[in-house]
Amino acid sequence: MNTPEDSLLGREVAYPSHYDPDLLFPIPRAGARAELGLDNAALPFVGHDRWHAYELGWLDLRGKPQVATATLTVPQESPALIESKSLKLYLNSLNAARFASVEDVCAQVARDLSARAGAPVTVVPGLPVFGSESGALLIDTLDVDIDDYGPPNPAYLSAAGDAVTETLVSHLLKSNCPVTGQPDWGSVVLRYEGPKIDREGLLRYLVSFRDHAGFHEQCVERIFADVAARCAPARLSVEARYTRRGGLDINPWRITPGWEDSAPAPLRELRQ
């Protein structure tokens, strides 16, 4: 079984000089889910991990360099997630490879990622537009004192009263890479139907990730599981839009099965 310590993450590595799909490093999802008490065979959510690639390069058939952007979507039901530095190195390995078109590049990347993740991955040219959630309520302006920065503390979460449908947003999520300790910054979009979530408690909870070491995908699944357990919404959607690192950003999204039509629009935050 692959572990983060087995990867190239946090190590000095040579710039890849040729196309090499073996650079991709899959990390099984099941272990982190088991730590949250989640049964990998009967998860309480569906969703995906949407990557934005800003530095996609290759050579055309005559050797002329080409550049583009792309959106990569890894389904959450894949047995493995793809470690980010390995994805960066893999994409760099395409720089000396020849392709007839950007569509051919995307098709090759999709094949390679699907093989490593263990499920079909889609790759399309281009990126989503910049934007924000219509009608969303920003909780970052709440006048609260906070002195708890980790570990993540679900005790702050609570909900009461009549059922509401609302979207809450915070740009204050910060967690850390579990191997290098480098900070990961992101925005959270939380949409739900159910008893009204205490907003101050939610903000304190999100800030309590500040010193937490976890991969992006695992942080979002932890947020989903904690909110579901403590606030008991009938329906829940959680997306984190992390800022760019090494020409990539990642946007993990999890939602209650059957509520997929309430998925957030595929937008990019201004910080991305």
- Tens of pLDDT along the chain (272 residues)? 455 555 555 555 566 789 999 999 999 999 999 999 999 989 999 999 999 999 999 999 999 999 999 999 999 999 999 999 999 999 999 999 999 999 999 999 999 999 999 999 999 999 999 998 889 999 999 999 999 999 999 999 999 999 999 999 999 999 998 878 899 999 999 999 999 999 999 999 999 999 999 999 999 999 999 999 999 999 999 999 999 999 999 999 999 999 998 888 899 998 99
C-alpha to C-alpha distance for 241 and 183, rounded to whole angstroms = 14
| CB contact at 8 A, 213 and 139 | no
The beta-carbon contacts of 2-8 under 8 Å, at least 24 apart in sequence, are 2/26, 2/27, 2/28, 2/80, 3/27, 4/83, 4/178, 4/179, 5/179, 7/83, 7/85, 7/86, 7/179, 8/85, 8/86, 8/89
pLDDT for the residue numbered 16: 78
C-alpha to C-alpha distance for 239 and 263, rounded to whole angstroms = 9
Token digits of residue 148: 């708890």
* Residues 6 or more apart whose Cβ sits within 8 Å of residue 201: 156, 157, 158
Token digits of residue 134: 């219509």
| CB contact at 8 A, 84 and 245 | yes
Single pTM value for the model: 0.92
Domain boundaries, the chain: 4-125, 137-262
Residue matched to tokens 């708890």: 148
Which CATH topology does 4-125 take? Answer: GTP Cyclohydrolase I, domain 2 (3.30.1130)
Catalytic residue among 184, 198, 226, 249: 184
Token digits of residue 12: 């000095």
Cis geometry, peptide bond prior to residue 79 (ω within 30 degrees of 0): no
pLDDT for the residue numbered 151: 96
pLDDT for the residue numbered 180: 82
Catalytic residue among 106, 177, 219, 231: 177
C-alpha to C-alpha distance for 252 and 61, rounded to whole angstroms = 35
Residue matched to tokens 């606030």: 231
pLDDT for the residue numbered 1: 46
Which CATH topology does 137-262 take? Answer: GTP Cyclohydrolase I, domain 2 (3.30.1130)
**Catalytic annotation present for 177:** yes
C-alpha to C-alpha distance for 166 and 246, rounded to whole angstroms = 34
pLDDT for the residue numbered 70: 98
Q: Are domains 4-125 and 137-262 of this chain identical in fold?
A: yes
Angle value at C-alpha 57, between 55 and 63, nearest 5 degrees: 160
Alpha helices in the chain (DSSP H): 30-35, 84-93, 102-117, 199-207, 216-231
Angle value at C-alpha 226, between 225 and 228, nearest 5 degrees: 65
